[in-house]
Structure 1
């Protein structure tokens, strides 16, 4: 039984993403090392996550959602660190992946990685190029989907082996040093499949409608609100306009992260610049089938 790494997420009704999360972390780390906060105690979530450590919490609509969620996740991460060298924490549609060119699994990489630090993978958003990728997603996402756009917003400090506080949303920590291992990526899956995007957004809009209140009052991502949604097909059509880049060398992006790393005002957290890049890449074949 390994004690190198555990993974934790919180989920409500997102079966599509949970299946991918379980295929990735459940297979690699062992389900006994996966921790799932089942928000609302959904029966389907409990069924899919059988063999994992499931923490059921009430699902009643409430405000300050994200603050409460990260307060809970911070506490669990802090506790798990007493038993694991590394704890991977994030949303259910975020997966930390090691480049297959490294010749090892993520678990093998973490076995050899120093502790008492926070690792920040480069964030990539898997996008569904509906003009080029007609095949539905069945067993795996990477393969039917091979296009990614740069997503610095999702370059999250999410592999934790240090006592630190994680900010709401998981975008910042109080760790004062930045570590961005070359082969490490975080894939964000929100836009990986057009039909699932429509279904997921319908569910999230219903949640915010039930809660009531403004974005500030509810303290949940603006993208959950119907008024910020836009026209779904137009969102995906626009991916074709992103500038396609040759190759897959993102060393320049890691350099930019380090060059701009600094305290986030007087909050106690640290940050780097997260500009919007109008760029996309085609994933090398070696990534196909990873999850």
Structure 2
């Protein structure tokens, strides 16, 4: 008999996001089914996680190819002990549609044996002209109104068979398979904390000068990008149900983009971004 679900992330000095990640996912699967891979943190952020499972690795320059290879193997090994495994970055919170599922284990239990589930990716967007700084001790969904669709966040996150993720965890060696699973990305949820994290990722060693340029852009570039998203029109009426045609059209665009990429490392177009913000439907308020 296997346990239902393990949830995995990998971190380095994530004192802001890691407590949020732990609060969200331990509520879903319990402490010991949450696995934090600590890549050499030295800020104390992984020292007091209670019964959360922590695996400590020596610090090395950030290498996304090495990282995804390791985590693909780690998650595959966990499948010996769990029916399903989820991998998400520390700034990514998954919610199975509350209209259909009580929890993430309920969602993964409904996946076919050997299946993989792709999340519907949404950036939480801070609108500084209308919203105060985020209080990370409170649910994010009660403090931020708008999200933006992002194909880059449409990640294959839940697995019931071993997979090999591409660098960045955006794709595997199979086309996307969407279910009623939503990924809320926190990178743009707060202007000030986003700039603080950007300063840290700029300072850390990287295996390649060309890798992850979006993690090393200037403050001016990053703030300008967030400001552009914040000023998109805010759509009020979407309910994100299976009959919501606006959401369905964006998901369909991602699926169509995969049709000519079956031999590519990245199986979808990662640059499909919403042209408006969507207000969170009431059933998601308080869910993360």
Match of 1:240 in 2: 230
Distance 1:117 1:103, change over 3 A: closer
For residues 42-191 of structure 1, the aligned pairs below 5 Å read 42=42, 44-60=44-60, 62=61, 65-134=63-132, 136-137=134-135, 138-176=137-175, 178-181=176-179, 183-191=180-188
More helix, by proportion: 1
Gaps of 5+ in 1: none
Distance 1:47 1:109, change over 3 A: same
CA deviation profile, 1:181-235 (whole Å, cap 9, x unmatched)? 1x21111110111221121111111114xx58621xxx3x1112245x5345433
For residues 196-235 of structure 1, the aligned pairs below 5 Å read 196-208=193-205, 211=206, 214-215=209-210, 219=211, 221-227=212-218, 229-235=219-225
TM-score, normalising length: structure 2: 0.88
CA distance in structure 1 between the partners assigned to 2:138 and 2:48 by the alignment? 15
Match of 2:37 in 1: 37
C-alpha displacement of 1:79: 0.4
Aligned 8 A contact 2:94 2:182 in 1: yes
Stretches of 4+ aligned residues off by more than 6 angstroms:
none
Match of 2:17 in 1: 17
C-alpha displacement of 1:152: 0.8
Match of 2:272 in 1: 275
Match of 1:28 in 2: 28
CA deviation profile, 1:5-57 (whole Å, cap 9, x unmatched)? 11111001112111111111111111111111111144623234221111101
TM-score, normalising length: structure 1: 0.87
CA-atom RMSD, angstroms? Answer: 2.3
Aligned length: 280
* 1:254 matches 2:251: yes
